[in-house]
């Protein structure tokens, strides 16, 4: 075993012990708990080198060391395998998520499942409208001057708006408009919809163009997605069980309320094909400096639409957490593809 490889093994051992005990790790503990195959003096030299590299540090005057953010990052990047789920965990995910009746129910169950499996805060991002496709547009006639516009995406997301009409409308006109909207917009990405909508007047008779403008104005408003509707949180109470890891919980709770912070982190995993891990200051938010975020994208037919993840202490079992986040993300995607 080369020097660099041995130093990595020492770092892995320090991270594993610190995760398990929440106590600074000394060279004697490494000798007692791990079969590293070298003398205590060599381990002390390796620990000194790791400290010089900024991967571990000494929190106080004891001989023990704890990982730094950079040390956790090296540990996560060098993980060769994530811990497999137990049979009980696989059955629990399957049983609990399989009973979902619609998109909202799938995501609510995903949050609860992740929070229970990891004992951390779970977060799920709704499928982004901009990355979804239009499955169907429905027009429901409520009265001669009022319609309900219903947008259904390929992920099962449903958006509905009431449309107040400037003039009365008859059933046949509503039927023609419904047919035109679906013929031109079905299976289109919502990010493409604005361009198609601009061309719609050419596809209807002149007497329906005024009504079409009213409808498409409302439809364009639907496409402007408020961030407040895109996040579900679960397991926030788990933070109270981690008081030793969070000297101050309030900044973490305040950061969780700022959904734009979580959306930015989740969007990182949507953009990546791998499990995304942000550790400490990598979250780019002062309130989350004592935390780590593990997330994974989910989607249908090879297209990533949103992300699921957990937020917990930097001292988390990364291999365990990454496996469970990835499993729930895969299952959410499977359920959405079936709908």
Q: Kindly state the tokens that stand for 271.
A: 């953009």
Phi, psi of 297 (to 5 degrees): -75, 155
Q: Please tell me the predicted confidence (pLDDT) of residue 235.
A: 92
What is the model's pTM? 0.80
Contact 273, 95 (CB under 8 A): no
Contact 276, 125 (CB under 8 A): no
Q: Please tell me the predicted confidence (pLDDT) of residue 157.
A: 82
Q: Please tell me the predicted confidence (pLDDT) of residue 308.
A: 95
List the chain residues with pLDDT less than 70: 1-2, 61-63, 80, 225-229, 339
pLDDT digits (tens, 9 = 90+) for 218-252: 988 887 765 545 789 999 989 888 777 877 888 88
Distance, CA of 78 to CA of 81 (rounded, Å)? 9
Contact 245, 22 (CB under 8 A): yes
CATH of range 87-128+228-338; options 3.40.50.720, 2.60.40.10, 3.30.450.40, 3.90.1750.10:
3.30.450.40
Compute the Cα dihedral for 258, 261, 267, 273 and give only its sign.
negative
pLDDT digits (tens, 9 = 90+) for 254-296: 888 888 888 888 888 887 778 999 999 999 999 999 999 999 9
Distance, CA of 325 to CA of 281 (rounded, Å)? 21
Q: Please tell me the predicted confidence (pLDDT) of residue 339.
A: 65
Contact 270, 307 (CB under 8 A): yes
Tell me the CATH number for domain 130-223: 3.30.390.60
CATH 3.30.390.60-classified regions of the chain: 130-223
**Which of 88, 89, 109 lies closest to 99 in space, CA to CA?**
109
Query: Is 153 in a helix, a strand, or coil?
Result: strand
The CA-atom distances, in angstroms, between 191 and each of 158, 197, 300 are 16, 11, 17
Contact 257, 121 (CB under 8 A): no
pLDDT digits (tens, 9 = 90+) for 199-212: 998 888 998 888 99
CATH 3.30.450.40-classified regions of the chain: 87-128+228-338
How many other C-beta atoms lie within 10 A of the C-beta of residue 174?
Answer: 17
Second CATH level (architecture) for the domain 3-77 = Orthogonal Bundle (1.10)
CATH 1.10.10.10-classified regions of the chain: 3-77
């Amino acid at each position: 075993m080369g020097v660099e490889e041995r130093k990595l093994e020492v770092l892995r051992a320090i991270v594993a012990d610190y995760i398990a005990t929440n106590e600074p790790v000394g060279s004697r503990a490494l000798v007692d708990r791990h079969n590293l195959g070298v003398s205590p003096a060599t381990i002390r030299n390796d620990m000194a080198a790791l400290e010089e590299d900024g991967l571990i540090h000494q929190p106080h005057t004891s001989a023990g060391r704890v990982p730094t953010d950079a040390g956790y990052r090296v540990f996560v990047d060098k993980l060769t395998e994530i811990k497999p789920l137990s049979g009980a965990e696989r059955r629990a995910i399957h049983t609990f998520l399989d009973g979902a009746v619609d998109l909202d129910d799938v995501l609510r169950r995903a949050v609860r499942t992740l929070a229970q499996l990891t004992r951390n805060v779970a977060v799920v991002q709704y499928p982004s409208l901009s990355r979804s496709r239009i499955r169907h547009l429905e027009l429901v006639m409520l009265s001669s001057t009022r319609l309900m516009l219903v947008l259904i995406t390929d992920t099962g997301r449903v958006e509905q708006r009431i449309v107040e009409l400037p003039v009365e409308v008859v059933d046949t006109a509503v039927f023609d408009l419904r047919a035109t909207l679906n013929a031109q917009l079905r299976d289109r990405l919502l990010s493409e919809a604005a361009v198609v909508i601009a061309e719609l007047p050419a596809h209807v008779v002149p007497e329906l163009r005024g009504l079409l403008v009213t409808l498409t104005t409302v439809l364009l408003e639907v496409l402007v997605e408020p961030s407040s509707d895109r996040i579900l949180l679960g397991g926030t109470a788990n933070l109270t069980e981690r008081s030793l890891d969070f000297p101050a919980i309030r900044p973490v709770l305040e950061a969780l309320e700022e959904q734009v912070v979580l959306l930015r982190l989740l969007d990182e995993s949507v953009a990546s094909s791998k499990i995304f891990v942000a550790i400490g200051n990598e979250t780019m938010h002062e309130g989350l400096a004592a935390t780590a975020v593990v997330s994974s994208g989910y989607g249908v037919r090879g297209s990533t639409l949103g992300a699921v993840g957990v937020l917990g202490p930097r001292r988390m079992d990364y291999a365990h957490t990454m496996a469970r986040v990835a499993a729930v993300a895969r299952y959410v995607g499977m359920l959405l593809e079936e709908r």
